[in-house]
Amino acid sequence: MEAAHLAVDQAVAIRAENGRVIIEPAAPNYALDDLLAGISPQNRHREQDFGAPKGKEVL
């Protein structure tokens, strides 16, 4: 399991591809509330000015 970078009780995704069974670590599930809780004044980006609207952004 070390060579596959998997651990006991780790969630995995299983799929069939070209006649083979592929087992991979499952993509992590993130809760929006947890992600938002990690925002602080120190890790926020400053506001960006991308110039005047072009095309049909402003109707």
Residue 59 binned pLDDT confidence (cut-offs 50, 70, 90): low
Q: What is the sign, positive or negative, of the torsion defined by CA atoms of 41, 45, 51, 53?
A: negative
pLDDT, tens only, 31-54: 999 999 999 999 999 999 988 888
pTM score > 0.75 for this model?
no
Q: What are phi and psi of 37, to 5 degrees?
A: -65, -25
